[in-house]
Amino acid sequence: MTSEPEPTQRRASDIHAPSTAPEQLRGEVERIVYSGDETGYTVCRLRVPGKLEFATVVGSLPGIQPGERLELEGRWLNHTKYGLQFQVSTYTSHLPASANAIKRYLSSSFVKGIGPVMAGRLVDRFGEDTLEVIETDADKLIEVKGIGPARVTSIQTSWEAQKEVRNVMIFLQGHGISSSYATRIYKVYGHEAIGIVKHNPYRLAQDIRGIGFKTADGIAQNMGMDPHSPFRAQAVVEYTLNELAGDGHMFAPLDELVAACIERVELPEGLLLEGVEALKGYGRVIEDSEAIYLRGLYQAERGVADSIKALIAAPMIRKDFDTERAVSWAQQRMELDLTGTQVEAIEMAVTQKFSVVTGGPGTGKTTILKAVLLILEALSLKTVLAAPTGRAAKRMSEASGHEAKTLHRLLDFRPGEGKFHHDQDNPLTTDVVVIDESSMVDTVLMYHLLKAVPREASVLLVGDVDQLPSVGPGNVLRNILESEAVPFVSLIDIFRQGERSEIVQQAHRINQGLMPRWSKDLLRRSDFYVITADDPDRVADLIVELAAERIPRRFGFDPMREIQVLCPMNRGGVGSSTLNARLQEALNPDGPSVTRFGRTFRIGDKVLQTVNDYDKDVFNGDLGWVDGIEMDSGTMTVAYEDGEVSYDFSELDELLPAYAISVHRSQGSEYPAVVVPVTTQHYPLLQRNLLYTAVTRGRRLVVLVGSPRAIAISVKNRSTLERHTGLRKWLVE
């Protein structure tokens, strides 16, 4: 036991920040305040020996009951609403020993056939031996009034089931698995959990959300598994392929894959090659000319190529019309004087089965889209509009005047079924599909989209190929353009609506490999600024000052809702992780909070959803604000544009603080004001398309903070990290 004061001795003023050193607490569970069956998150009152007041304990304590004796490790936290609480990290549970504790334990009705009345009768008859009788000599239970043979069987069955749950949890935690993950594992594997983990702990990385190869490998080593186990070799191959997919690659050449595996785990090359062959035999990976694919990625990339070819080859069911006359009519209706390139793009879009319009900001993509929609409507053709994210879909709707959906909503994803409702067997009912921000669409999502497009329909992709490619694997838009297998028009002229914008002008200079121009007079009104500083610490200080004080004061932007810091990388002093913590402290330092997975969330915080959660109807890139934190129920509420979403504390790994986010995560979004650190500390990520993407996210104000040298490196570095993809090849085969 530590010398830390007990709950009755501590005051709120004693605790200004969460303690970091682990502390210990032991006692008997008096009452369960809240228990989440799905997650194991529990709030309970603990009777601490020698203390008059109960301690409040919160954390993942699945299945505990009143009367149990707990040995806890964790830390004391002071919640502004609920007071002093002990947050559990690990625990050990012991069955109750005293007659009163056993009575309270069995009164919880967790054992089928025993309620409060029957619990009293059992303890009256067997006293402190009650649990041992249930465990080892259940036939004696018939001596108690109200218990017959059928009830004895029911009690036995229920007791064994509860014991099995307990055994599984103890086993998993004994091998370094936290109670939160142990709950997830038991939920997936049930009573087979111990057997599965003992046989092949690397399955955890495949089946359990939040457990990756490194965690599974640590568990395996903790269990004494042979470091040269074939399971380990297979697991590291899959892990490496998934890691490479996270970097955008569809496949890995065999020699690069083996080398990348050895970088992660020191295993013999021969064992790794055997691992690849075993995975091929299981159908988990596919080899194509020494290109090793995860099975799903191979099917997706081949499927995209086959669908595009099939769409182009299928006849277009559309009545003939005078294209030139239609474009002229659209010009008159829109009261615009279109350029030759714009006319070419519109004619292509309304006559081709599959086509692409690409161009940067201010080049007229929205104008072309409006004209195309006008003509298609006049031809009585049904058109659906979609974009990869909710924010991009909203922008598309506002710009076009037509409803646009996210691709997931368009395809009607069914969470319960784990698949899209619309596919080749249930295609979309439409004549034309228009996708905006198509550079963001990864190969897997494009595969599902094209499967659902009827072959007689046509597809128009609109996007900026010079922006960063999709977060997910592949480089679909660029591959399609490079293949020259489909008609496309590249827009390069900047039109009047963008000429007055320094943001647009400087974005195009960056894209052309030219240094942006900026005035050294910071008092001059503009929408594009560069503030120079070489020292990363000074850059970080300036960013916090700009976002929290200077920009709101001078331009009137709301620092929480209108200013977004975009970082080339997550780590380092000017990475998103550090800046998030500093901006949170500057903008939202106080109030109820919860800390999970190394992140602290407060009411009022800006947060970003990082995965597609179809059950909650929130998707990667959705921005929201923490609206409520309920410690008793273990839930946090986030307000999004489309409504509120509740998260269990065990699900908070889906969220990131969003005062500062990566440039990659900003794709498809625009913000009134953007602040971007650019330092040589970011050297590996100083690339032209990254800086270009960051600048084009700002609608009314962009401020770069950093060194001119780092900006110059970014502008000159046209070579992006090449992605291994096969789409271009398969489109021209």
6 pLDDT exceeds 70?
no
Please name the helix (run of DSSP H) or strand (run of DSSP E) that holds residue 600, with its range, or none.
Answer: strand 599-602
Q: What is the reported pLDDT for 593? A: 87
Which of the residue ranges 132-146, 262-276, 497-511, 624-638 has the most confident prediction, judged by mean pLDDT? 262-276
- Amino acid at the residue 49: P
Question: Would the pLDDT of 543 be above 50?
Answer: yes
pLDDT digits (tens, 9 = 90+) for 298-313: 999 999 999 999 999 9
More confident call, 706 vs 498: 706
Per-residue b or e along 267-287, where b marks 16 or more CB atoms closer than 10 Å to that residue's CB: beeebbbebbebbeeeebbbe
pLDDT in tens, 632-650: 778 899 999 878 999 988 7
DSSP code for 598: T
> How far, in Å, CA of 465 to CA of 481, rounded?
9
- Which residue is it, tokens 């353009």? 481
How far are the Cα atoms of 19, 360, 440, 622, 678 from residue 684, in angstroms, in the given order? 36, 25, 22, 27, 12
Q: What is the pLDDT of residue 20?
A: 53
Q: Which residue has the higher pLDDT, 48 or 391?
A: 48
Contact 703, 677 (CB under 8 A): no
Which whole number is the average pLDDT over 440-453? 96
Query: Residue 160: pLDDT band by 50, 70, 90 thresholds?
Result: confident
User: Do strands 291-294 and 251-253 pair parallel, antiparallel, or not at all (unpaired)?
Assistant: antiparallel
Residue ranges in 140-267 assigned as alpha helix (H) = 149-174, 179-189, 193-199, 203-207, 213-222, 230-246, 254-264
Whole-angstrom Cα Rg for the chain? 30
Asked whether 575 and 567 are in contact (CB, 8 A), the reply is yes
Pairwise CA distance, residues 135 & 141, whole Å: 11
Which is more confident, 157 or 700? 700
- For residue 584, give both structure tokens: 């949170």
Check: CB of residue 134 under 8 Å from CB of residue 155: yes
Percent of the chain with pLDDT over 70: 93
Residue 168 phi/psi, 5° resolution?
-60, -45
Q: What percent of the chain lies above the pLDDT cut of 90? A: 56
Integer Cα distance of 441 and 457 in angstroms: 20
Strand, coil or helix: 308: helix
From the number of C-beta atoms within 10 Å of its C-beta (0-12, 13-18, 19+), residue 609 rates as buried
- What's the pTM? 0.75
Cα angle at 606 between 61 and 701, to 5 degrees? 160
- Cβ of 340: how many Cβ atoms within 10 Å? 8
Highest mean pLDDT among 34-48, 433-447, 656-670, 717-731: 433-447
H or E segment at 693? Answer: helix 688-696
Angstrom distances, CA of residue 20 to CA of 17, 61, 87, 714: 9, 21, 12, 40
d(Cα 301, Cα 311) in Å, to the nearest integer?
16
Q: Three-state DSSP class for 605?
A: coil
Q: What's the DSSP call for residue 549? A: I
Residue 634 to residue 43: CA distance in whole angstroms: 8
Element (H, E) at 574: none
Strand 458-463 versus strand 432-435 pairing type:
parallel
* Residue 187: other Cβ atoms inside 10 A: 15
Does residue 5 surpass a pLDDT of 50?
no
User: What pLDDT does 665 receive?
Assistant: 85
Asked whether the beta carbons of 141 and 119 are under 8 A apart, the reply is: no
- List, for residues 79-125, the tens digit of each pLDDT value: 777 788 999 888 888 888 889 889 988 887 677 788 889 999 999 99
CA distance 592 to 213: 34
Q: Do 357 and 365 form a contact (C-beta atoms < 8 A)? A: yes
| C-beta separation of 247 from 255 below 8 A | no
**What's the distance, CA 718 to chain centroid?**
29
Q: How far apart are CA 572 and CA 647, in angstroms?
A: 29
Order of strands, sheet of 655-657, starting from the edge strand that comes earlier in the sequence: 643-648, 635-640, 623-630, 606-609, 655-657
CA angle 261–263–266, rounded 5-degree value: 80
pLDDT, residue 141, reads: 93
Do 530 and 521 form a contact (C-beta atoms < 8 A)?
no
State the first-to-last Cα distance of the chain, in angstroms, to the nearest integer: 71
| Each residue's pLDDT tens digit, 232-259 | 999 999 999 999 998 899 999 999 999 9
Q: Which of 39-48, 539-548, 592-601, 619-628 has the highest mean pLDDT?
A: 539-548
